Structure formats: structure tokens, C-alpha cells
Amino acid sequence: MITIEINQVKKGKKIGDGSFGSVFIGEIEEGKQKGIQALKEQFKISDHEKMILKALKDKQFQHLIKVIAFEEQEDRIFTLMELGEIINFSNLLDKRTICLQMAKGVSELHKLGFFHRDLKPNNFVIGLDNKIKLIDFGTTKTIQYTSHTQNEGTLSYMAPEVSITDDYDSSVDIWSLGIIFYELLTNSTFFEKGKSEYEICYERVQISQKQINLQIDAQKSLEQWQKALLKKMIVQKLENDNLLNHSIKRINIDEVINEFEQSKNFQQTQQKVYQQKNDLDNETQFQNSKWTDLRINQLHKLEIHSQWISSLCFSPDGTTLASGSGDNIINLWDVKTAKVKSKLEGHRDWVTSLCFSPDGTTLASGSGDNTIRLWDVKTEKLNQELSGHRYDVNSICFSPDGSTLASGSDDKSISLWDVKTGKEKYKIQGHSEGVLSVCFSPDGTTLASSSYDKSIRLWDILTGQQKGKLDGHEGTVYSVRFSPDGSTLASGSEDESIRLWDVQKQQEIQKLIGQNGIIFCLCFSSDGRILVSGGENKTIIFWDITKKQLKQKIDAHQGIVYALSFSFDNGKLATGSDDKSIGIYHVEKGVEKSCTNPYTQDKNFKLFSSEFIKLASCSDDNIIDQEDIKQNRNKSKFGGFKKKII
């Protein structure tokens, strides 16, 4: 381990002040650790802060700021730390991940035997690894101590009992964290601003649990699980006579983390369960089966639009197909009957892009009229119109949790929208020409975009910063799509090539050649085995992603193919063209007859979900048997999970 001495650090510009000192830019000028850090100079330090800084020195924590060097001199104390970036909370996108990482920082501190006592938004920064870090340990105390100073911390976030007694415990951090989460998730303060310190203190001490719960319930932007969690964090432990009741408990920090992790994984679990169900229903023989051929049959040819078909999207349950056209109209089709169920009108220019929300209740549409519209699928009414782009909205995509909508425009920008409020959360700039395609990664942490400028860019949803740039195409990149597992990004271009990129390494894996002409649209099957492309030469091509080779080509239309959409169960493919028609195809994969469980070599392979519980068995007779082994199904129901395709 390389040791850095304070005398190796050059003190630079002041970047902050504290009660007993200041923080400066600290530049290490020599050695392998050369770089810019934060240098804290203090004239006074508590024994507890000294203990925590020594505990952190030379150790690596995921969500506590890294302490590189700590030195006590005769008249001052120096601490060299990782230089964190100040967080603009109003512009944050993935708030669920932000909250989770904050909680993990508090958990790491508690496990070291300390609690913070002054948790507030300003005491969290973004580290060099783009993770949230907890900082400023001037008020920390060891958990084992039973007596603590009153009124330590920031009033707006301080637990009520801290103002009344010295007999409080580490759960005061849970209260503070709950207030931070409330503000972050609702974009509003828990206690009204503009009041005097006395008024704030009085309000905190006097507020009842009933009042707390009512205030939380009144926030429509909060999901039910978030409301339930906050009610277990923001817990009033003072009784009517302002006495602390130790029998009243707040949720502990590990339980907070568990709640967020369960929520974070929920959409991914939905996707896996739904895919497993469809694999069983379609007799797809598990993870080690190989498809040998494709049988593609056209089921319907739909002709009702008066102009070119510009966008298509299946609903998550596969029963509805939305189509957008140059005639400014959106049609919702019953996939089974091939009849139009409803017509959505209102856009003043062509419909460029369509995307169903993951739960299927909302359809988003982008248009050449510079707007985005959110439609209620059930009532077929317009919910909201989102305005902010100056030119055509070329592409839209819902985040996996459905809370955010991304849009790319000819104005060279990408906007991130809060679906519930309809407000723009954040605007991303970086492309030098119009943005043609946007796509969220399946885990919701990354947004990919492509442009007339021939580049593909990867954006960190947590920070809104560019995390990568993929160069290689020699022409406009019209479409980008993530594979269902998020490991691969496919791109289609004016240069007549499709490129597959390793997302983690940000390197090109393969260049697929075979579709002569511009590639306008791409889509993955939900199992990730097939990539379909369409474009200028009027054909659609099915690519075997495992072998990275052309599998099958069909002449789909008499005009350019502009739009593709796979149903979630992989059974149906929709294609749209400038010949004004929509094709719906049944796609069936032939599979090898052998079938074994790759994990246990067992006959039985079990799949469970809250919607269905089935037992599937593979045996030497080459038959897949399905048996419903649960008579009383869980009343909760998973909805479909969808990746946006144009």
C-alpha cells in the first residue's frame, strides 16, 4: 500500500468551510497516487471524529468517502480525502438508486460502530467511482455511548428527541435519512421552509405520528411501498409530555436497504418470471437448448394508415399493437382479430415513436410536432402533453420501472421526464447533431443514444454524465437497442452495417453485414437470441446473436422498412413500411430434441412466480410436461415488462 504524507500535498483553492476549519483542493504532486483530492484543514477535532477518520484511513468502503491520509500537527489537523462531486438533487434521475446508496453509506458507518447525527443532503457527494459517498464526520459518536449532546445536527433533519434529551441512540440517523428520502422522492420539504429555528424545533417535537403519516399519504408521487417505508423511518418517539419512549422503534438501516433492494429487483424479477412462463408455454427448452431453424408465417397484413408506418409497439401482454404513421394518427390494434380497437388523434405532425409503459397502462408517443403525448390505454384519453423540445422528437423510451421517460430530438438534446408529474427532470447535451434513438438498459442505470453525428453515447442515469462514446460507424446511426441481459448493444446505421458492442468494455464485438442499404430499425427477441433488422432494401433479416450470423431473410414489404416490434413472448413480430402497410408474423424457433437441466442434470426444473407456479420436466422422451402444482394462486399479479422498440 502506498502511503501519502501531508507534506507531499499542495494546498490549492478553498472549496468549503466548516465549524473548525476549511476544505481545499489538495494536489498530490509525486508518486503513483498523483492527482487531485480534497484537503481538510481543521483547528479543532473531536475525539470521535478522530476515531472515525483513523478507522477510514487506507480502507476502501463502497459508500463512505475515502480517507487517504490523516495527520495531527501541533496547531492543526489535516485530512486528505477523495474529492467528491456536489450533488444537484433537483436534477437526479434514478432516485431509488440514490436512496439505496445513501442507506448503504449509513449502514457502513453504523457497522464501524459510529452514527452520524447530522445526516442531510449536503453530506453526501458523488465519488470518483460514480457512487454516492457519505462525508463530514464532525458530529459522529460511537454507538456504544449512552449519553450524547443535545441539538447536534441540522434542525430540518434532526430527530425530535435530539432537542429534548441526551438519551437518544443511533436511530436518529434513520429519522434524518427518512426526511432526506421524503424530500428526494417528492421534490418537496417535510417541514415548511422560512420558519425560525424555534418554530422548526417546536414543530418537530410536537408533530404526532398521525400527522406524519397523513403528510406522507398525501404525496401522490410516492409509491405505496415508499409510503410504508417512510412511515417506519420517520417515527415520533416523543410522547405528549415530551418524554422519550424507548419502546417505540424505528426500522433499522439494514431493513431500509432490504426494502430498496427488493423494489430495485422487482421489475427485473418480473421480466425473468414472465419470460420463464412464456418459455414454458412455447415449449422453449430452457437455457441450454439451441434453435436450429426459424418458421416465419405472415398472419396479417394491416392497411389503414394513409401514410408511411413510422413506429410500432406491442403492449407488454402482447394483446395490443400500437402503430404510428406519417398521417399523424396512432391506431391501437387487437392482435388476435387484426381489427382497430381505437384511434388516438391529436398530434399535429407525424408520429415518430411509440412506447408502452412497463405496466401497459400508458402509451407514450413522440412526434414531429416537437411534443410527447402520454395516453391512458384503458380510457383512450390523453393524460399529458410534454413540451420542451424545439424540433422533432425522434425517439422515446420508458425506464424499466416506468417512472421516467427519455426522449431524443432533432434539437441535439435528450430530455428525461417524470412520468407522474409530466415535468422535465433533466436535459442531457452532448451530441453535435440531432438525436435519432434512445434506449434504457434493462437495469435502468444507463441510457444509450445515437445521432446524425455517427456516434453512440452511453449516459449514466445517476449523474446525467456521459460514461462512454462508441465510434466506428461511418454514417448516421438510426437505431440502438440493448440486449435483454444488458451486456450487448446493437446499432444500425446509414453505412449499411449492424454493430454489436460490449457494453461493459465499450468495445465493438462484431460487425454484421448482409442487409444492403440503410439500417433504420432493430429489435431483440426478449430471450436475446434473435436480432431483427429492417431498412432501405425492403427486407427484414433475422440474426443469430449466439453465432453472430445471418439466419434468415424475408421480403417483407414493397417499401422501406421503418419499424419493428417483437411481442414479449417472442411469438409475433410486427413490421411497418413506407408502403403504408403493417405485417404481423408468427415466429417459431425449431429446437434440438435433447433437453437437460444445465444446473443439476436433473429431470425436474422448477419455475415459480406469484402469478403461476408450474413444474416443468425434461426427459429422454423429448417431451416437456407442465403441471400446475398450486391450486390457490396468489392474488398478486405480475404485469409484463417491456423494452422499447421503434
Whole-model pTM over 0.75: no
Percent of the chain whose pLDDT exceeds 70: 82
pLDDT tops 70 at residue 385 = yes
Residue 602 phi/psi, 5° resolution? Answer: -95, 160
pLDDT tops 50 at residue 614 = no
344 burial (CB, 10 Å; 0-12 / 13-18 / 19+) is buried
pLDDT tops 90 at residue 620 = no
What are 330's strand-pairing partners? 324, 344
pLDDT tops 70 at residue 645 = no
pLDDT tops 80 at residue 148 = no
Q: Which cell numbers hold the place of 20?
A: 473548525
Looking at residue 13, its pLDDT comes to 82
**Residues 120-138: tens digit of each pLDDT:** 999 999 888 888 999 988 8
Are 152 and 229 in contact by the 8 Å Cβ rule? The answer is no
Looking at residue 638, its pLDDT comes to 30
Q: What integer is the mean pLDDT of 272-290?
A: 46
Between CA 547 and CA 532 the distance in angstroms is: 14
Cβ-proximal residues to 298 (8 Å cutoff; 6+ apart), any chain:
583, 584, 585, 586
pLDDT tops 80 at residue 270 = no
Strands (E), 53-177: 67-72, 77-81, 85-86, 114-115, 124-126, 132-134, 141-142
Between CA 372 and CA 347 the distance in angstroms is: 9
- Say how many C-beta atoms besides its own lie within 10 A of residue 249's C-beta: 12
Q: Which of 438, 465, 459 is nearest to 449 (CA)?
A: 438
Are 468 and 446 in contact by the 8 Å Cβ rule? The answer is no
Between CA 80 and CA 410 the distance in angstroms is: 45
Between CA 382 and CA 376 the distance in angstroms is: 6
Q: What integer is the mean pLDDT of 63-86?
A: 86
Q: Which cell numbers hold the place of 32?
A: 503513483
Looking at residue 62, its pLDDT comes to 92
- What average pLDDT does the structure give for the chain? 83
Looking at residue 433, its pLDDT comes to 94
Looking at residue 160, its pLDDT comes to 95
Bigger pLDDT: 246 or 40?
A: 246
Q: What integer is the mean pLDDT of 219-232?
A: 91
Looking at residue 624, its pLDDT comes to 32
Residues 44-79, buried b or exposed e (16+ Cβ, 10 A)? ebeebbebbbebbbeeebebbbbbbbbeeeeeebbb
Between CA 13 and CA 38 the distance in angstroms is: 10
Looking at residue 563, its pLDDT comes to 96
Cβ-proximal residues to 351 (8 Å cutoff; 6+ apart), any chain:
310, 311, 324, 325, 326, 328, 329, 330, 365, 366, 367
Looking at residue 29, its pLDDT comes to 63
Q: What's the CATH number for 294-588? A: 2.130.10.10
Length of the chain: 646
Q: Which cell numbers hold the place of 547?
A: 453465432
Looking at residue 335, its pLDDT comes to 92
pLDDT tops 70 at residue 416 = yes
Q: How confident is the model at residue 644 (pLDDT cuts 50, 70, 90)?
A: very low
Looking at residue 637, its pLDDT comes to 30
Q: Which cell numbers hold the place of 220?
A: 401522490
pLDDT tops 90 at residue 329 = yes
Q: Which cell numbers hold the place of 415?
A: 430530455
Percent of the chain whose pLDDT exceeds 90: 55
Distance of CA 194 to the CA centre of its chain: 34
Which region among 3-12, 330-339, 496-505 has the lowest average model confidence (pLDDT)? Answer: 3-12
Q: How confident is the model at residue 6 (pLDDT cuts 50, 70, 90)?
A: low
Q: Which of 384, 388, 420 is nearest to 401 (CA)?
A: 420
pLDDT tops 60 at residue 569 = yes
Q: Which of 242, 230, 215 is nearest to 161 (CA)?
A: 242
Which region among 351-360, 377-386, 564-573 has the lowest average model confidence (pLDDT)? Answer: 564-573
Between CA 104 and CA 127 the distance in angstroms is: 14
**Residues 469-494: tens digit of each pLDDT:** 999 999 999 999 999 999 999 999 99
5, 53, 176, 178 alpha-carbon torsion, rounded to 10°: 80
**Residues 391-414: tens digit of each pLDDT:** 999 999 999 989 999 999 999 999
Q: What integer is the mean pLDDT of 33-62?
A: 81
Strands (E), 194-290: none
Between CA 164 and CA 155 the distance in angstroms is: 13
